Structure 1
Amino acid sequence: MSDDRPTQPYAASAAVAAPPPVPPQGQAPVRDRTGLAIAMMCAVSLIFAFQDVFSRILGGGYPPVLIVMIRYWVFALFVIALVARQPGGLKRAIRTKRPLTQIARGVILALEVLIMVEAFVRLGLIETHAVFSVYPLLVAALSGPVLGEAVGWRRWTAIAVGFAGIIVILNPGGGVISMAALLPFAAALMFALYGLLTRHVSRDDPAMVSFFWTGVSGAVAMTLVGIWDWQWLAPMDWVWMACLCVCGMTSHYLMIRSYELAEASALQPFGYTQLVWVSILGVVLFNETLRANVVIGAAIVVAASLFTLWRQRMRSR
C-alpha cells in the first residue's frame, strides 16, 4: 500500500519535526495554489537552515540535551495552543487508538533531533545534512518490513545508488571513517522509522492527534533525560534560544499552510533546498569546507531520493 502523506519534506533535524496537519487521505487541499505553497516550502527550508545555525551555536557551549529539551518545551506549548483551536480541542487530540505507537514516535523523533544537534557540533552543518539526506531512501527500504508495502526493483536500484552516494560522501579511501560520521546516518534511520510509524498511525488517528502526541511525548522524554543537565544560559544565549524557538514555530506554521494549499507530492522535492542554504551558511558563518566528494555524493543521494519520491507518486496514482 502506498501512502502519499508527508512526514516532513526534509531534515527534521533542524526543527522538531512533526507531521503537519493535512487534509484526510483522498481529499483535495482546500485551495490549489501550488506556486504560493512552493514559495512557502522554500521559506520553511531557509528557516530550518537558520535553526541549524542556532542549534550549532548553542550546542557548542551547552549539552545538546539541554538545548533540545528547552526547544521541546516551547514546541509542546505551541502544539497545545494550536490543537486547542481545532474542532474537539485537546480532548479530541488526546484520544488515540494507538497510544504506545504515538509515544514511540515522539520519543524516536526527540532522540533523532538530539543526535543531529550533536552531529552539527562534531561534523558541521554541511556534512551532517549531506549524510542525513539519505533518509527518504531508508523510508523506501523499510516500508516493506514495517508497513508491508511492495518495493519494486526500480526503487531498490535507487536505494543502492543512494547508498553509493553516502560512500562517496564518507570517502573511506581518504582515511578512517570517524564514529561521528555515523551520527547523521543514525539520525536518518530514526527519522525514517518515525516517518513510517507516522504513516502507520495515520490509518487510525487524524493528523492533528499525531501532531499533539509528537510534541507532548517528545517534551516529556527530553525532560526526563535533560533536566539533570539543567543550567541557566548566558543572557546572549537566551537570545539565540529565543530565535531558535521563534523559527521553529514560524516554520511549522508555514509548513502547515503550504500543505493546505498544495499536494504533498508537489512540495516534498523543494524541501531539499535546505541542503543548499545549509551549505551556504556553513561556509560563510563557520568556515566549513565544501569538499568535492561531499557535493558529488549529496547530488547522487538527492537524485536517488527524488526518484523514489516520483515512483511513490506514480504508485499512489
Structure 2
Amino acid sequence: MQDWLRRLGPNVQGALWLVAGGFIFTSTSAMIRLLSTQIESVQTAFFRAVISLILLLPVIAAGRVKPWESKRIAGHFWRTTMGTVSMVLGFYAVSLLPLADATAIAFSQPLFSVVVAALIAGEKVRWRRWSATIVGFAGVLVMVQPGQGSLQLGALVAVANAATVAVSILLVKRLSGTETPLMILTQFAIFSTLLLALPAIWVWRWPDLFGWMLAVGVALTATVGQYFWVQAFKAGEMSAVAPFEYLRLPFAVFVGWLIWSEVPGIWTYVGAAIVIASALYIAQREAQLARERRRAAVAAGEGVKPPESPAP
C-alpha cells in the first residue's frame, strides 16, 4: 500500500491523506455527538486528553520525547490553554448543532486566522485578504442568520471555537520554531489532562459500555486524523492540498443524514460556499506571497536585487 502511494505525485498523496483524514474527523464528530447524550462536553474532552496521554506513554518511556526538558513550558501552557478551550467549544458545538452545520461554521477558522495574524501577530494584511475575510464572515452570517430569530447557542459556540482554534494555531507556529511536533503533542496531552481534570470531576457522569467505547473511539480517531492531516501537508503543497479539506462537508452531510436523518437547509450550503471560496482565496494568496518571499530570499543570496512584490 505504501509503495503504491509513493508512486503517486506528491500533491495526489497529500490529497488522499487529507480526504481520508477528513472522513476520520467526521467520524470523530459523530462519536462526540453520540457520547454527548451520556456525558458533558468537558468530560468528553477530558477522556480524549487522558487517552491521548496513555497512548503517548510508551513514546515518553522510550525517551523519544522528554517533556520535562522543554525550555518553553510557559509557551506550551498557553498554547494548551487555548487548544483546550477550543476543544471543549468544538465538542459542545457538535452536541448542539446538526453535524453539517457545525462542520460548515468550523470552516471559518482561516478567516479568524487573518484577523489574529493582523491584530496579535502584527502581520501586515492588505486589502485583498481583508476583502476576502469580510466576504467570508458575510458567509458565516448567512449560515447563522442572526436577523431571522434562528441564532442558536450552538452557532455562537461554533463561531467561538473557530476563533480560538485560530489563536491556538498561531501559538503552535510560534512553538514549532524550536519544538518538535511530538513535543508539542505530548505537552498538549499533559497540560490538557491537568486543566480538564477538575471541571470533568465537577460534572462527572459514568457512561455505559457503549459510552466508554465511544470515548476511546474519539481519542483514537482524533489522534489518527491529526496524523493524516500532518502527513497530507508534509506530502503536498498547501495550495494544492488544502481544497480537499472541504470534502468534510459532504461527509458530514452524509453521516448526519445516515444517523440522525438531518438535512441541512439551503442557507447552510450558500453560507458554506461563500466561506470556502473566501478561505481558498486567502490560502492561494498566502501561497503566492510565500513563493515571492522565497524568490526574494534566493535573489538576495545571489546578490541580485529582487523585484518588488505586488501588494496582497
Q: What's the CA shift for 1:97? A: 3.8
**2:75 maps to 1:101:** yes
Q: Distance in 2 between matches of 1:211 and 1:244?
A: 16
Q: What's the CA shift for 1:60? A: 2.0
Q: Distance in 2 between matches of 1:181 and 1:120?
A: 10
Q: Distance in 2 between matches of 1:190 and 1:56?
A: 20
1:94 and 1:212 in contact (8 A); partners too: no
Q: Which amino acid aligns with 1:72?
A: A
Q: What's the CA shift for 1:69? A: 0.7
Q: What's the CA shift for 1:176? A: 4.8
Q: Distance in 2 between matches of 1:198 and 1:99?
A: 13
Q: Equivalent residue for 2:257? A: 283
Structure 2 gaps, min length 5: 1-7, 292-312
Mean CA deviation greater in 199-208 or 153-162: 199-208
Q: Which amino acid aligns with 1:152?
A: R
Structure 1 gaps, min length 5: 1-30
Instruction: Report 1:119-158 matches (<5 A).
Output: 119-158=93-132
Q: Equivalent residue for 2:217? A: 243
Q: Equivalent residue for 1:62? A: 39
Q: Distance in 1 between matches of 2:284 and 2:233?
A: 18
Alignment match of 1:114 (pick from 77, 88, 93): 88
**1:84 to 1:255, Cα distance in 2 relative to 1, 3 A:** farther
**1:256 to 1:77, Cα distance in 2 relative to 1, 3 A:** farther
1:71 and 1:245 in contact (8 A); partners too: yes
Mean CA deviation greater in 307-316 or 266-275: 266-275
Q: Distance in 2 between matches of 1:292 and 1:223?
A: 41
Give per-residue Cα distances to partners, 1:35-81, cap 9 Å, x unaligned: 22211110000000011000000012211111111111111223444
Q: What's the CA shift for 1:142? A: 1.3
1:119 and 1:184 in contact (8 A); partners too: yes
Q: Percent identity?
A: 24
Q: Equivalent residue for 2:3? A: none
Alignment match of 2:50 (pick from 73, 97, 103): 73
**Partner secondary structure for residue 90 of structure 1:** coil
Q: Equivalent residue for 1:218? A: 192
Q: Distance in 2 between matches of 1:122 and 1:311?
A: 34
Q: Which amino acid aligns with 1:90?
A: V
1:146 and 1:196 in contact (8 A); partners too: no
**2:247 maps to 1:273:** yes
- RMSD over aligned Cα atoms: 2.1
Q: Equivalent residue for 1:311? A: 285
Q: What's the CA shift for 1:159? A: 0.4
Q: What's the CA shift for 1:292? A: 0.6
1:131 and 1:166 in contact (8 A); partners too: yes
**Partner secondary structure for residue 263 of structure 2:** coil
Give per-residue Cα distances to partners, 1:112-163, cap 9 Å, x unaligned: 1111221122222122222221110100111022222111110000000001
Count of aligned residue pairs for this structure pair: 284
1:97 and 1:204 in contact (8 A); partners too: no
**2:21 maps to 1:47:** no
1:283 and 1:290 in contact (8 A); partners too: no
**Partner secondary structure for residue 300 of structure 1:** helix
Q: Distance in 1 between matches of 2:65 and 2:190?
A: 12
